[in-house]
Amino acid sequence: MNKKKVGIMIAMFLLIESGLTLSMAFGELKVGCVDIQRAMNDCQAGIEAKKVIGKEMEKLQKLFAERQRELQTMKESIERQAPMMRPEVRETKEKEFQTKVRDYQRWLEDNQKEIQQKGAGMERAILQDIQKIIKKIGEEEGYTVILERNENIVLFSSKAIDLTDRVIKAYDGQKK
């Protein structure tokens, strides 16, 4: 287990322990949990974001295939003509081909990074909104603590305290 996870688990334990102490002194302990990843994936904005990114990836795949065919055609042409070319001409053609291959690789990396950044930006925006909704539910309904349902941190939680479906519904309702 890494230090961050251990730190989070200790902090959650201390928070729950202090909550139990406070709840005994002041009233009831109310705990909830939310599966953030499922909320992000299952809300309408998350579904739409996946569609947008999927379409972008499809476009990139088509362009990828097209440029790969161009490179293959160029390579085959050089290989066919190589025996008839003077050495310096063949060397020039091979350098041109290598330059195109490097340009193609850079182009592909740039496009992949751009799509990943766009996806990450969409995820960040959705996550921020979801966190606001969780905070609102927590404040309005008097939760002592709402935990993120994550197998590495929360090993078990009852369905009764799972707020994920409510968060998704509130998020989708807010976006309409």
Provide the β-strand partners of residue 148: 34
What pLDDT, on the 0 to 100 scale, is given for residue 78? 87
Short-list 35, 30, 22, CA closest to 140: 30
Question: Tokens 């959705």 correspond to what residue?
Answer: 126
d(CA 146, CA 11): 13
Mean pLDDT by 10-residue block, N- to C-terminus, for the chain (176 residues)? 60 56 64 92 94 94 92 90 88 92 94 94 95 94 88 76 90 82
Residues ≥6 apart with Cβ < 8 Å to 43: 126, 130, 168, 171, 172, 175
What pLDDT, on the 0 to 100 scale, is given for residue 117? 96
The single-letter code of the amino acid at 57 is M
What pLDDT, on the 0 to 100 scale, is given for residue 9? 58
What pLDDT, on the 0 to 100 scale, is given for residue 39? 94
Spell out the domain ranges in the chain. 3-175
